[in-house]
């Protein structure tokens, strides 16, 4: 009953026998195992076998193999007892798991054949899977790339996160602009996760601190919720090692329901704790404009840290019980905890509390263990993103932790006063507690720096800025504490699986597929960059990807785009510092000039399709105005018969990993145009470069290193440099800025009402004036606009030279070897975590 007529199979095939076979690796066996799950792990009415049923049965068939590999890995780690890394992150942007797992286990062919026997194409079934909604932007995607590399490098490591039921939000685009609705990835269930009913830990909020007669302290009372573990297996590429992303779900116990109140009709009162527990993992980054919102975010952060550390300590205890000789001083030689940004900072006081209050250590011993165990990755220099929590809120929710933080701060300040008299006048900025009477706060980044054995930035420029500016005084105290670890991306998901045509060409010309785990081998393409045969194959792979992308764009937006036009893409979180506003103002200027041209002049221009995508945070008004402007410009441009042959503008809705896997291989020019010094690294820039896409960008984040690797002549550079930015802002304040006429022309065109009646005044006001809140063009869009437009003119010229462009594209891929997350993680393992590979035999 092969599905040859395009109709979906709807009932279970009878020719293949349903047979459990977790180790199946041949197509008929796999088909039998899939059918076994359709029949005996049922989630739907019997006899149904539509595409959705086929997805779940296929995923469960593959999960059998993953569980087997996971168990073998777990047993092996237990036997060898290596030092292990525990990666704490509030976000993981995993994307779809089916094609990634099949690819990493090298089962693409057998699974595709098995599904054909059952009447389906693998691509069709993979399309049914929803992205796991556990993250938002680069921070979460980086964490997921890191897990892939940890597994592939056979490292003993775990990820810890939260199991958000509704993610950040699903983005809808309407006449109003962006609208947010809850993600529904768990509406049915996730076939990948394995609930561990035996892994449950209590997590307390509020309450008070009791002092015992011996002077020891204990946190009591308040609310206690339960953290239940769900494991998601993470297979490495071409290895047996399969590690785990452990996600915590918050629950209340049966006895927390007040049955008396319930029977009295006081239903909400009776189930108060159940309701409060459920809120913790409802959404990622709940709005924090209200006191309740702030409390919920803080609860989420503590819930992640407490559950994860209790789990880590219980494992350490298990080994101590079996071996009998392990001391607490051995803890840092067996455990590395990495905090991904400041969100998991509460791991520091929580580890101190668990060691002192639950395990009887004294302060000095607990501090020694903690400060040798935890390390901190900084991801931002933006002041608003460096977390500061109200002291009163912290005392209310976490009274014992505030005692510990206060003591850490007191001891740190004393050390400075005793040993660094020269820093006496800097204590108010170096201390963890900011005791400003107007707004006393806890500075989480300061707590991380003081308590961690290592602090790292995520690109060379970013790490340099951290050392020279943000953390300069700390560097003078601990010069060896600070490192750089330039971010990376997994070449499996971001080239091998998302662009099979291009990767097959690379394998053919390099005469090996070893580049998939040794990305530096891509430099071997440089010698062929001028080869006409390679250029021709490269162009046809790009064209196939562009056609696939064009079909996708028409399906989701209704806009028809020309695959022969230059595909120009900017996809990332919508934020003023990322300057999507500069991009769209450039497009507006281009549109105006096209309108002014005679038809024969237009024919000489390079047709371009500009795609912009990304989510604006629900309460970030200016970012949402930018989304609205892009859509309004698209509506006008795309329906203009004089111009729409030469320019199209598309806002790609609900940007996520799966959308990125479609956009990035089809892109030819990618915009990474943040104000210099503001983007810590960026990782989408690496994904685009790896796929042979050329970058137009500023000297910001990892752009600096990408340009060094791919060659200056293969990068369209513009804009102020990070060291010029403070002076330029000062000149703007002093009224010395003179705008380029093109910049004024683009703004006036918006104000003229060409793009509709929506009031863009407040958005454009951010570019006006010299100072003041929301004014004065803080992100230097006006200053960089002329050099941006000049760089775009160079893009048009370069694109006219097809051979030259293809050569640049090949050299872009050839120079991307440094940006593998395998390289990044190998450096973390050796230089921060001190862990070694532990391959399953």
CB 91 within 8 A of CB 136: yes
Kindly state the helix (H) or strand (E) to which residue 391 belongs, with its residue range.
Answer: helix 391-397
Instruction: Say which of 170, 353, 546, 573 is annotated catalytic.
Output: 573
- In DSSP notation, 256-309 reads GS-HHHHHTT-HHHHTHHHHHHHHHTTSSS---SSHHHHHHHHHHHHHHHHHHH
CA-to-CA distance for 666 and 693, rounded, in angstroms? 8
Eight-class DSSP state of 591: H
Q: Per the residue annotation, which of 58, 373, 377, 683 is the catalytic one?
A: 683
The catalytic residue among 251, 572, 615, 732 is 572
Q: With 0-12 CB in 10 A as exposed, 13-18 as middle and 19+ as buried, what is 175?
A: exposed
- Relative to beta strand 441-443, strand 455-457 is unpaired
362 near 356, Cβ under 8 Å? yes
548 is catalytic: no
Sign of the torsion formed by the C-alpha atoms of 391, 393, 396 and 398? negative
Catalytic residue among 379, 400, 648, 807: 379
Q: Alpha-carbon distance 70 to 255, whole Å?
A: 34
User: Rounded to an integer, what distance in angstroms lies between the CA atom of residue 332 and that of residue 751?
Assistant: 61
Backbone angles phi, psi at 466, to 5 degrees: -60, -45
Question: Is 683 an active-site residue?
Answer: yes
CA angle 257, 258, 264 (to 5 degrees): 130
Q: Using the structure block, give the residue that is written with the tokens 């099949």.
A: 102
- The residues, any chain, with a CB within 8 Å of residue 730's CB and separated by 6 or more, are none
> How far from chain centre, in Å, is Cα 828?
18
Active site annotation includes 578: yes
User: How far, in Å, CA of 746 to CA of 592, rounded?
Assistant: 8
Sign, CA dihedral 433-434-440-444, equals negative
Q: Which residues of 423-452 are buried (b: 16+ CB within 10 A; e: fewer)?
A: beeeeeebbbbeeeeeeebbbbbbbbbbbb
Selecting among 96, 492, 575, 687, the annotated active-site residue is 687
Say which of 496, 578, 602, 807 is annotated catalytic: 578
DSSP3 helix / strand / coil % (the chain, rounded to 5): 50, 15, 35
Active site residues: 379, 572-573, 578, 683, 687
């Amino acid at each position: 009953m092969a599905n040859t007529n395009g109709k979906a199979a709807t009932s279970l095939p009878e020719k293949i026998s349903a047979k459990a076979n977790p180790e199946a690796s041949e197509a008929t066996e796999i088909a039998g195992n899939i059918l076994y799950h359709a029949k005996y792990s049922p989630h739907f009415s019997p006899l149904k076998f539509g595409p959705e049923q086929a997805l779940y049965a296929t995923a469960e068939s593959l999960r059998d193999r993953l569980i087997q590999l996971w168990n073998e890995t777990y047993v092996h780690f237990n036997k060898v007892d290596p030092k292990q890394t525990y990666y704490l992150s509030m976000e993981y942007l995993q994307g779809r798991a089916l094609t990634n797992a099949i690819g990493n286990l090298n089962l693409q062919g057998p699974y595709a054949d098995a599904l054909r026997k059952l009447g389906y194409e693998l691509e069709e079934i993979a399309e049914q899977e929803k992205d796991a909604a556990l993250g938002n932007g680069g921070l979460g995607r980086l964490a997921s790339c890191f897990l892939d590399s940890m597994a592939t490098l056979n490292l003993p490591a775990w990820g810890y996160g939260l199991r958000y039921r509704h993610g950040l939000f699903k983005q809808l685009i309407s006449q109003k602009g962006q609208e947010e609705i809850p993600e529904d990835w768990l509406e049915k269930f996730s076939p990948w996760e394995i609930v561990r009913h035996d892994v449950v830990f209590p997590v307390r909020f509020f309450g008070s601190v009791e002092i015992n007669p011996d002077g020891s302290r204990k946190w009591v009372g308040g609310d206690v919720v339960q953290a239940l573990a769900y494991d998601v297996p993470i297979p490495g590429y071409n290895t047996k090692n399969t590690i785990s992303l452990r996600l915590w779900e918050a629950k209340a116990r049966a006895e927390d329901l007040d049955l008396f109140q319930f029977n009295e009709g006081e239903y909400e009162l009776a189930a108060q704790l159940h309701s409060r527990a459920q809120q913790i993992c409802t959404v990622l980054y709940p709005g924090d404009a209200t006191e309740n919102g702030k409390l919920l975010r803080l609860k989420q952060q503590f819930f992640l840290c407490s559950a994860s550390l209790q789990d880590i300590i219980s494992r350490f205890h298990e080994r101590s019980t079996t071996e009998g000789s392990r001391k607490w001083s051995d803890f840092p030689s067996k455990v590395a905890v990495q905090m991904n940004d400041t969100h998991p900072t509460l791991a520091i006081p929580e580890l101190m509390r668990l060691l002192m209050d639950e395990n009887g250590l004294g302060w000095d011993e607990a501090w020694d263990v903690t400060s040798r165990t935890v390390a901190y990755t900084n991801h931002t220099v933006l002041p608003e993103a460096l977390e500061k929590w109200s002291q009163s809120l912290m005392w209310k929710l976490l009274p014992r932790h505030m005692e510990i933080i206060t003591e850490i701060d007191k001891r740190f300040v004393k050390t400075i006063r005793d040993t660094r008299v020269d820093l006496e006048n800097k204590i108010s900025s170096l201390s963890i507690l900011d005791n400003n009477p107007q707004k006393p706060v806890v500075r989480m980044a300061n707590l991380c720096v003081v308590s961690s054995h290592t602090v790292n930035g995520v690109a060379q420029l970013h790490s340099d800025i951290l050392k020279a500016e943000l953390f300069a005084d700390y560097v003078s105290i601990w010069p060896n504490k600070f490192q750089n670890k330039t971010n990376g991306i997994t070449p499996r998901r971001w080239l091998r699986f998302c662009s099979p045509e291009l990767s097959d060409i690379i394998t053919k010309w390099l005469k090996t597929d070893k580049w998939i785990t040794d990305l530096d081998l891509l430099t071997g393409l440089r010698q062929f960059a001028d080869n006409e045969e390679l250029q021709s194959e490269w162009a046809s792979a790009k064209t196939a990807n562009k056609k696939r992308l064009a079909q996708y764009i028409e399906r989701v937006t209704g806009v028809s785009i020309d695959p022969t036009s230059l595909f120009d893409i900017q996809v990332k979180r919508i934020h003023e510092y990322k300057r999507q506003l500069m991009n769209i103002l450039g497009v507006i200027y281009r549109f105006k000039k096209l309108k002014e041209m005679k038809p024969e002049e237009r024919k000489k221009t390079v047709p371009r399709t500009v795609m912009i995508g990304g989510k604006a945070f629900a309460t970030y008004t200016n970012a949402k105005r930018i989304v609205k402007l892009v859509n309004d410009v698209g509506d006008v441009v795309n329906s203009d018969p004089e111009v729409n042959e030469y320019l199209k503008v598309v806002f790609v809705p609900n940007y996520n990993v799966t959308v990125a896997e479609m956009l990035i291989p089809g892109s030819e020019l990618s915009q990474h145009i943040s104000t210099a010094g503001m983007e810590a690294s960026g990782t989408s820039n690496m994904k685009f470069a790896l796929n042979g896409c050329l970058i137009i960008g500023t000297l910001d984040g990892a752009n600096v290193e990408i340009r060094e690797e791919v060659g200056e002549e293969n990068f369209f550079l513009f804009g102020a440099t990070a060291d010029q930015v403070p002076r330029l802002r000062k000149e703007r304040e002093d009224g010395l800025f003179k705008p380029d006429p093109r910049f004024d022309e683009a703004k006036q065109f918006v104000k003229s009402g060409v793009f509709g009646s929506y009031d863009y005044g407040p958005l454009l006001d951010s570019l006006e004036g010299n100072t003041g809140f929301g004014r004065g063009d803080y992100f230097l869009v006006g200053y960089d606009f002329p050099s941006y437009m000049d760089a775009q003119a160079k893009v048009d010229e370069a694109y006219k030279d097809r051979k030259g462009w293809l050569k640049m594209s090949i050299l872009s891929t050839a120079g991307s070897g440094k940006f593998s997350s395998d390289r990044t993680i190998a450096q973390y393992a050796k230089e921060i975590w001190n862990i070694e590979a532990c391959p399953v035999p």
